[in-house]
Structures are given as structure tokens and as C-alpha cells.
Amino acid sequence: MAIFSKEEARRILEKVISFSKADGIEANLNGSNGGNIRYARNTVSTSGEDSNVTLAVQSNFGKKSGTATINEFDDASLEKVVRRAEELAKLSPENPEFMESLPQQTYGESKTFSEATAKITPEYRAQAAANSINPASAKDVTAAGFLDDSHNFASMMNSKGLFAYNQSTSVNFTATMRTNDGTGSGWVTRDFNDVSKLDTAEASRVAIDKAIMSKEAKAIEPGKYTVILEPAASAELLGNMFFNMSARQADEGRSFLSKKGGGTKLGEKLVDERVNIYTDPFNAEVPASPWTGDGQARRKMDIINGGVVKNMFYDRYWASQKNVAPVPFPGNIIMQGGSASLEEMIKDTKKGILVTRFWYIRSVDPQTLLYTGLTRDGTFYIENGKIKHPVKNFRFNESPVIMLNNLETLGKQVRVDGDLIPYMKIRDFTFTSLSDAV
């Protein structure tokens, strides 16, 4: 049984803490049950399940700490793991960045668990795959896809009296549909905490339609274009930007948020004033754990508001050096959208490119957050408010900072990879070369 109830977890963790002879002790008890199915060439290729529980104990004497883990939970094993952590702590060098454990925190109520997802069976997964494969093969299209689900619990306790517990579930689904003549490709992604919101047949239809629509793409010259980015296209570029918003990096002068001559861009306007980005672990559509792995409470917080940088992320050590409150890395990202539908955004575009997704995005220059990557699985030319024809894929070289400064229109939000991201119309997006890839 890889999922312990709140009371089972509390009982084990209390026992662990009671064995401590160190200055401090912190214990994390986590477990998961997961399963997945993968298919390609219109047939299932691999499928499996996994299950695991681990107890990690960190003991410290002053700034010397040691960590040991175990996956047996009888009293003798629990005592053994505590003794081992203490022995290791005594042998370790002092870590000048070691932070004492937190006292009890107040956490909001978690929304991350769904009973339906926890009950997924191998038969469900096989059926979900069949619901994606069958409509594809009926249309001369080849399906490849992946569905994975997990049910997790996380709990922690320390000698300062902090106890935290959370259960979460998630299901992720992606499918790539390719026309059998090899000239068209479409893709779709869906992710939820609650599997009852997932319909792999509906999702697969989107990808199948895109595959058929993208057949026999025409080459157009690379250059600067107005683009409509589907949320799945911009999600990773934006994610890369947030991932680089560490306050320490910025203070050290090695971040896109560092300023010439010293200082950071915190509190300064970075992007278009219509850009509002925040995190909220209690959002019903994209819930995240109410606490971080070291027990900090997550709450609703602005990251960019009115185009101005409102928060960078401070770990507890760096916050203590800078005399500010720690700002934990967010569990989700929510970018405010507008009311425009995709159809309206297309209708409103004189000349532009509709992008389903980007692929193989890699950093080119961390100073300017320049990234390169390519369009994939459905790229279309728009003229006078209508999709005219599919176009060959492009390579881009672009920075999300420049992109958010070139914002034209915000559309509706969609959940992508645990975040809420709107459709966006961006002007002067830089495509640097063409690719023959389908």
C-alpha cells in the first residue's frame, strides 16, 4: 500500500521524531501509485504500473546535517534510520547555508486529490488508448500517444512541531496523429487532477483534424511574423522565464533580471502592461500543493502585474541574507487571459501564423533569455481573417521577454501542464529558418 492516510502518516512521523537525539530533525514520508500506457502505429507499445513509499530523515547538529532514508516502517527500522541520519550529520562538514526547520505553518485546504483518478485501472488505460486509436485508423491517420496517471501522498514533520500532509492525483494525456502519407501531423495535450474531465476521444479528434488540415504544407519565407500562439505553444517559453526568476541569480548579476551596474529589475516594468501573471495553489482548475517540500506555505501571489516584476523567488537562505521574506517557487502559474476566442483572434488577423506548439526549445543566451526551437504538428498561414493553408515548420530565435512586449491580443485561458495560459497574439515573432520536418 503506497498511500498512507493522514493519521497513518502522522503516527509514523511522530514515532520518528520521538527517536531523535539531535539538535533538530525533519522527516518526509512520501509515496505514490502510478500507471501508464503508451501507443504508436495505432497499437499499444508499452504499459506498466509502479508503486513506492520512502521515508527521508534529516538530522542536524548545529549547521551539520545528514540525511538517511528507508522504506520499512516497523519501530526498529524507524529508530535505525534516525540513528543513521544522526551519525551522518556528525560526520558532515558545516553547511553555511543550512537553515533551521520551520515551526508549524498554516496551510490552505488542498484541492489536488480526485477519487476517480486514484481508481484508474489497466482496463481504463487500454480503453482510453483505444478511444484515441480507433477514430484515427478510421481516417487514414496513425495515432501515437501516452497516458500516465498517479496518486501521491506527501507528508512531513519536524522537531519544531510542524506537520503537513497532502494527497494529489494527476493524469496527463498527449497524442500525435500523422496522416498515412506522411505529409500531415497534429497534436493535442490534456492534463487534469480529475480524470473524469478527460475524454481521450474528444482530444484525439482535435489532433486528427489538425493532421488532416496540415497536409501538404507550403513553404513561406522565414522572417518576422504576427503569430497566434496556442497556450501549449507559449507554456514552455513562459515556464523557462519563470524558472529563471531566482532572486539570487539576479542579485549575483547573472540573470535576465540583473541590471547593468548592479541591482535587479524587481518593481520595474518588464513587459506589456496587459500582462498579469500570478500563482494560486487553490485555483480549482489548476490546484497545487499548499506547501513546499521544506514546509513553507504556498499562497496566492503576483509574479508580474501590469507588466511590472512583482516577485522574484527567494529560497530561505537567500531571503535570510537579504532580510526579506522567503518566496517559494510557485506550484502553478496563471496568466490572465482575455475574452477573445481563437476564431475571433484569427478573424482579426490580416496576415499571420497560427502555431499549435513549439518543440526542442533550448536556451541560446541566458542574458537575454533568447531561446531557439521549432514549430510542430500544425502550423497555418492566416490571411485576411482566415486560415489559408498549412505552412512548413519554422525555427524561431526569440526571447519570452521580447514576445510579451510585443503582445497584441490576449485570448481565453487553457490548462496546460498544470498552469493556466491564454491564447496570445504576438507581433514580430522571429522565425529564422525553414524545416522540412512534418
Partner 1 sequence: MKRRDFIQLAGMGAGAMMLPISPFAKNVDPARLLDQVIDVKQKKQLADVALNTAKSNGATYADIRIGRYLNQFIVTRENKVQNVVNTESFGCGVRVIANGTWGFASTNDVTKEGIDKATKKAVEIAKANAKVQKEPVKLVPVQGYGDQTYKTPIVKNAFEVPIGDKADLLLKANAKAMEKGASFINNILFLVNEQKYFASTEGSYIDQDVHRTWPFFTVTVVDKTSGQFKQRASFSAPVGMGYEYLDGNPKDKIQAPGDIILYNNSYDVVEDAAMAAEQAKQIIAAKSVEPGKYDLVLEPSHLWLTIHESVGHPLELDRVLGYEANFAGTSFATLDKWKTKNFNYGSKQVTLFADKIQPGSLGAVGYDDEGVKTKRWDLVKDGILVNYQAIRDQAHIIGEKESHGCCYADDWGSVQFQRMPNVSLAPGKEQLTPQQMISNVEKGVYIVKDGSYSIDQQRYNFQFGGVLFFEIKNGKIAGMLKDVAYQSNTQEFWNSCVQVCDERDFRLNGSFFDGKGQPSQSSAVSHGSSTARFNGVNVINTARTI
Instruction: Return the residue of 13, 107, 148, 356 that touches partner 1, per CB under 8 A.
Output: 148
Q: For residues 282 and 274, give the distance between their C-alpha atoms in angstroms, rounded to a whole number.
A: 23
Task: Note whether 41 binds partner 1 by CB under 8 A.
Answer: yes
Exposure of 381 in the CB half-sphere (CA atoms within 13 A): 16
In the three-class reduction of DSSP (H, G, I as helix; E, B as strand; rest coil), residue 16 is classed as helix
Task: Note whether 395 binds partner 1 by CB under 8 A.
Answer: yes
In the three-class reduction of DSSP (H, G, I as helix; E, B as strand; rest coil), residue 424 is classed as strand
- Bridge partners of residue 351, in order along the sequence: 383
Binding residues for partner 1 restricted to 2-31, rule: CB under 8 A: none
Q: For residues 434 and 421, give the distance between their C-alpha atoms in angstroms, rounded to a whole number.
A: 27
Task: Note whether 105 binds partner 1 by CB under 8 A.
Answer: no
Q: Which is nearer to partner 1, 77 or 432 (CB)?
A: 432
The single-letter code of the amino acid at 431 is: F
Q: Which is nearer to partner 1, 167 or 349 (CB)?
A: 167
Q: Which residue has the cell 501509485?
A: 33
Which of these, 191, 186, 167, lies nearest to 176 by C-alpha position? Answer: 186
Q: Which is nearer to partner 1, 124 or 348 (CB)?
A: 124
The single-letter code of the amino acid at 358 is: F
Q: For residues 218 and 392, give the distance between their C-alpha atoms in angstroms, rounded to a whole number.
A: 6
Binding residues for partner 1 restricted to 307-366, rule: CB under 8 A: 315, 330-333, 359-366
Q: Which is nearer to partner 1, 1 or 339 (CB)?
A: 1
For residues 201-218, one letter each, b for 16 or more C-beta atoms within 10 angstroms of the residue's C-beta and e for the rest, the string is eebbbbbbbbbbbbeebe
Instruction: Return the residue of 367, 383, 386, 388 that touches partner 1, per CB under 8 A.
Output: 367
Contacts 24+ apart (CB under 8 A), 365-370: 366/244, 366/254, 366/255, 366/256, 367/256, 368/256, 368/399, 368/401, 369/240, 369/241, 369/244, 369/256, 369/399, 369/400, 369/401, 370/397, 370/398, 370/399
Exposure of 188 in the CB half-sphere (CA atoms within 13 A): 23
Binding residues for partner 1 restricted to 84-103, rule: CB under 8 A: 84, 87-88, 92-93, 95-97
The single-letter code of the amino acid at 362 is: R
Instruction: Return the residue of 12, 369, 424, 426 that touches partner 1, per CB under 8 A.
Output: 369
Task: Note whether 151 binds partner 1 by CB under 8 A.
Answer: no
Q: Which stretch binds partner 1 (CB under 8 A): 9-17, 34-42, 198-206, 339-347?
A: 34-42
Q: For residues 205 and 136, give the distance between their C-alpha atoms in angstroms, rounded to a whole number.
A: 8
Q: How many residues bind partner 1 (CB under 8 A)?
A: 110
Q: How far is the CB of 176 from partner 1 (least distance, A)?
A: 4
Binding residues for partner 1 restricted to 279-318, rule: CB under 8 A: 288-289, 315
Q: Which is nearer to partner 1, 268 or 343 (CB)?
A: 268
Instruction: Return the residue of 116, 118, 162, 370 that touches partner 1, per CB under 8 A.
Output: 370
Q: How far is the CB of 180 from partner 1 (least distance, A)?
A: 10
Query: Which triple of cell numbers denotes residue 254?
Result: 547573472
Q: Which is nearer to partner 1, 408 or 419 (CB)?
A: 419
Q: Which is nearer to partner 1, 341 or 367 (CB)?
A: 367
Task: Note whether 56 binds partner 1 by CB under 8 A.
Answer: yes
Instruction: Return the residue of 8, 10, 67, 269 that touches partner 1, per CB under 8 A.
Output: 67
Q: Which stretch binds partner 1 (CB under 8 A): 81-89, 158-166, 348-356, 382-390?
A: 81-89
Instruction: Return the residue of 8, 51, 73, 269 that touches partner 1, per CB under 8 A.
Output: 51
Binding residues for partner 1 restricted to 204-243, rule: CB under 8 A: 239-240, 242-243
Q: How far is the CB of 378 from partner 1 (least distance, A)?
A: 13
